[in-house]
Amino acid sequence: MGEAHEQPESAKAIAFERELVARWRDGDLAAFDALYHTHAPVLARRLRRVVGNIADTEDLLQQTFITAHKTLARFRSDAPLGPWLAGISFHLVGNYLRAKKRRRRRETGREEQALPNREASGDAERQHVNRDLAHELYQKLQQLPDDKRLAFTLHHVEGLGVTEIGKLVGASAQTVWARIESARLRLEEMLHGAPQRGGRR
pLDDT of residue 150: 78
8 A C-beta contact, residue 51 and residue 5? no
pLDDT of residue 40: 95
pLDDT of residue 12: 87
pLDDT of residue 198: 46
Cα torsion for 92, 95, 99, 101, to the nearest 10°? 110
CA atoms of 12 and 176, how far apart (whole Å): 30
Q: What is the mean pLDDT of each run of 10 residues along the chain (201 residues)?
A: 50 90 94 95 84 88 95 87 85 80 75 53 50 65 79 76 77 91 89 56 41
CA angle 87, 73, 89 (to 5 degrees): 20
pLDDT of residue 36: 96
User: Three-state DSSP class for 75?
Assistant: coil
CA atoms of 157 and 159, how far apart (whole Å): 6
Q: Which amino acid is at 56?
A: D
CA atoms of 109 and 81, how far apart (whole Å): 42
Q: What does each C-alpha distance from 70 to 61, 74, 103, 131 come to in angstroms?
A: 14, 9, 29, 35
For the stretch 116-119, contacts whose Cβ atoms lie closer than 8 Å and that sit 24 or more positions apart, written own/partner, are: none
Neighbours of 125 (CB within 10 A): 11
User: Mapped to the 3 state alphabet, what secondary structure does 141-179 carry?
Assistant: HCCCCHHHHHHHHHHHCCCCCHHHHHHHHCCCHHHHHHH
Which domains, ranges and CATH numbers included, belong to the chain?
A: 1-79 (1.10.1740.10)
pLDDT of residue 1: 44
CA angle 62, 173, 175 (to 5 degrees): 85
